[in-house]
Amino acid sequence: MRIVQKGNSEGTQILVVEDHKPMSRAIKGILESEGYTVSTAADGVEALEIMGELVPDLILADIMMPRMDGYVLYDRVRARPERVQIPFVFLTAKSEREDKLKGKQLGAEDYITKPFDAEELIISVRSCLARAQAIDRANKAEFKLLKEQITTILAHELRTPLTHVKGYTDLALEDVSSLTPGEFEEFLKGIKAGTDRLNRLVEELLLLAQIDSGITQNEFEARVCEHDNLNEIVERTARQFSARARQHNVSIEVSTDSAVPRVRLWEPLFVDALGRLVENGMKFSREGGKRVRIETMVAENGVMVIVADHGVGIRADQQGHLFERFRQINRDQMEQQGAGLGLAIAQELIGLHDGEIVVESSPGEGSTFTIVLPPASGSR
């Protein structure tokens, strides 16, 4: 037999769930000889009891066991968010293809068929643990980056408007008696701009909290209804931005398809999501090509509401981050107001409608965000 070199197994906890005692002892002996700390359980019920006291780094479980088999144990383990990333290896005497497929479909990291040799077991355990550790390192790095982004963005989004409010207030109070009505009005406009920006940030954070807590979901289910006037809703939403578009020399064009079917909407949430896409298109429109196109269209799987701009565009490798919270693409290159929550909230709100937002974009050519909604039941 080829000798497998030992890895760094010190402190690694493995839970072996096997009702056949000689097999359980053999597995325990093999793994302990590699430096792992091993706990054993006779079935899924006992395994869950043990996991109430410790969280293993890997679970190795037989499938056919009394009281609770391996498949049920897997479901119980994965039902707890804090246990989702624990590698799970099925161990069974069965070798039929459908049994292996079931284990793979559940999401188990590996499937070892009895009889097996020690080398096969060790290699499987090591590879699963190495993969879990790599994922954990990547998650920690991503979380660290996210914390840094949140700190940077929120600090900017809080300090900048507060600076406006405090600065204009201090100036007004220092020389309030000599200010002309026009000067006083300018100071008030500066203060309002700062408070509006702060208010928007607070409203977005509160909305996210309501989404995460399920409050928005419950409100949606209570108020959603079928609409046969999607085109009118889209046109009204576009008109809400007409004054702001003129101020920024942006042209908004609307084109609707009269054949769009009924859809299930809670109009305020849909309008909120669509408005965020329109606002995004206006923000990133280029000089000389400031045009945002809004279009409804019948799709094979429902209805599409398209928002296209001729702006700066987004690289393909950045598009996967567009709907992440507190993520702003190229923030260091382009001064952007906001906390990077607009697209994330839009995606969440459209998700409540059983829809999705997809994006197509090319640098220098612009971006197209498409809301895809299913038709209402019975609609074509």
> Comparing 127 with 5, which gets the higher pLDDT?
127
Mean pLDDT, the chain, integer: 82
pLDDT bracket for residue 95 (50, 70, 90): low
pLDDT value at residue 327: 67
Tokens 């398809």, located at residue: 257
Could you give the CA distance from residue 156 to residue 336 in angstroms, rounded to a whole number?
Answer: 10
In b/e form, how buried is each residue of 337-352, taking b as 16+ CB within 10 angstroms? ebbbbbbbbbbbbbeb
Are 314 and 281 in contact by the 8 Å Cβ rule? The answer is no
Ranking 2-16, 64-78, 114-128, 348-362 by mean pLDDT, the lowest is 2-16
The secondary element (H helix, E strand) that includes residue 67 is none
User: Which residues contact residue 68 at a Cβ distance below 8 angstroms, ignoring those fewer than 6 apart?
Assistant: 43, 44, 45, 47, 48, 76
Q: Is the pLDDT of residue 176 over 80?
A: no
Q: What tens digit of pLDDT does each residue of 234-272 get?
A: 999 999 998 888 888 888 999 999 999 999 999 999 999
pLDDT value at residue 137: 81
Q: Is the pLDDT of residue 198 over 50?
A: yes
**Average of per-residue pLDDT across 210-233:** 92
- Among residues 285, 311, 291, 302, which one has the least CA distance to residue 238? 291
Could you give the CA distance from residue 57 to residue 186 in angstroms, rounded to a whole number?
Answer: 62
pLDDT value at residue 2: 33
DSSP result, 29-53? HHHHHTT-EEEEESSHHHHHHHHTT
**Average of per-residue pLDDT across 10-35:** 88
> Comparing 157 with 253, which gets the higher pLDDT?
253
**From the CB of residue 52, how many other CB atoms can be counted at a distance below 10 Å?**
7
Q: What tens digit of pLDDT does each residue of 280-328 get?
A: 888 877 665 588 999 999 988 889 999 998 877 777 777 777 777 776 6
Are 316 and 303 in contact by the 8 Å Cβ rule? The answer is no
The secondary element (H helix, E strand) that includes residue 361 is strand 356-362
Contacts 24+ apart (CB under 8 A), 221-225: 223/266, 224/264, 224/265, 224/266, 224/353, 225/264, 225/265, 225/266
Q: Which two tokens stand for residue 252?
A: 């908004």
Q: Which two tokens stand for residue 243?
A: 């004054």
Percent of the chain at pLDDT above 70?
84
User: Which residues contact residue 77 at a Cβ distance below 8 angstroms, ignoring those fewer than 6 apart?
Assistant: 48, 51, 59, 83, 86, 88
User: Which residues contact residue 232 at a Cβ distance below 8 angstroms, ignoring those fewer than 6 apart?
Assistant: none
In b/e form, how buried is each residue of 233-242, taking b as 16+ CB within 10 angstroms? bbeebbeebe
Q: Is the pLDDT of residue 32 over 80?
A: yes
- Among residues 125, 113, 49, which one has the least CA distance to residue 86? 125
- Could you tell me the domains of the chain? 13-116 (3.40.50.2300), 139-213 (1.10.287.130), 217-373 (3.30.565.10)
Percentage helix, strand, coil, to 5, in the chain? Answer: 50, 20, 30
Could you give the CA distance from residue 15 to residue 26 in angstroms, rounded to a whole number?
Answer: 14
pLDDT value at residue 179: 80
DSSP result, 5-16? PP---TT-EEEE
pLDDT value at residue 305: 96
Could you give the CA distance from residue 47 to residue 130 in angstroms, rounded to a whole number?
Answer: 23
Tokens 């998700």, located at residue: 351
Tokens 């409608």, located at residue: 353
pLDDT bracket for residue 374 (50, 70, 90): very high
User: Which residues contact residue 61 at a Cβ distance below 8 angstroms, ignoring those fewer than 6 apart?
Assistant: 15, 16, 17, 18, 44, 47, 70, 73, 74, 88, 89, 90, 91
Could you give the CA distance from residue 274 to residue 294 in angstroms, rounded to a whole number?
Answer: 10
Could you give the CA distance from residue 153 to residue 143 in angstroms, rounded to a whole number?
Answer: 15
Q: What tens digit of pLDDT does each residue of 63-83 get?
A: 888 888 888 888 888 888 888
